Amino acid sequence: MAVVVHPQSIVHGLVAFADGSLIAGMASPDMRTPIAHCLAYPERIVSGVAAPDLAALGALTFEQADLVRFPALALAIDALREGGGAPTALNAANEVAVEAFLAGRIGFRALSRVVERTLEAMRAAGEISAPTTVAQALAVHNIARDRALALLD
């Protein structure tokens, strides 16, 4: 798994194949495109967004992700490597942190700290086991939300 930063925000995803080729999903950086996609899936509808003008852009650049600058990305990579309930817990804690940020309760830099502390608390309590049912996945989710909310108080 590799993560790169693409400052132009035109390439939204890449798929690598065994033969070494890549396919890029490209679109203008406008949320109307993914919203239209979700609303009409599996069909495609007019979103009102023009395709990117690649000639005007001139170049597309990619950089290695700086995990110090992007601590939430480091947490996500670690959760994916850990597996089990860690990605579910990370997602739930992130939902709580983002809600708190949008409500003005925490600053931007606190987002990843809330997620990190939630995961640490759950690991210490043995609460990040791999769910085998939807009910178990929801339980991990709910525990993470509760722990993240408690950290905000």
Position 2 scores a pLDDT of 78
Q: Does the CA dihedral 96-101-104-109 come out positive or negative?
A: positive
- The pLDDT confidence band at residue 153, using thresholds 50, 70 and 90, is confident
Residues 30-67 have pLDDT tens digits of: 999 999 999 999 999 999 999 999 999 999 999 999 99
Q: Say which CATH number the domain at 87 has.
A: 1.10.1740.10
Q: Could you tell me if 92 and 144 lie in one domain?
A: yes
- Cα dihedral value 80, 140, 103, 68, nearest 10: -20
The conformational region for residue 9 under phi > 0 = left, psi -120 to 50 = alpha, else beta, is: left
Residue pair 46/102 in contact (Cβ under 8 Å)? The answer is: no
Residues 91-145 have pLDDT tens digits of: 999 999 999 999 999 999 999 999 999 999 999 999 999 999 999 999 999 999 9
Q: How many structural domains does the chain have?
A: 2
Q: Could you tell me if 84 and 110 lie in one domain?
A: yes
**Count of other CB atoms within 10 angstroms of residue 54:** 11
Residue after which a domain boundary falls, among 64, 81, 116:
64
Domain that includes residue 49, residue range = 4-64
Q: Could you tell me if 85 and 147 lie in one domain?
A: yes
Q: Could you tell me if 41 and 90 lie in one domain?
A: no
Position 1 scores a pLDDT of 57
Position 3 scores a pLDDT of 87
Query: Which of 61, 79, 62, 69 is closest to 115 using CA atoms?
Result: 79
Q: Could you tell me if 42 and 96 lie in one domain?
A: no
Position 9 scores a pLDDT of 94
Q: What predicted TM-score, i.e. pTM, was given to this entire model?
A: 0.77
Residue after which a domain boundary falls, among 42, 64, 86:
64
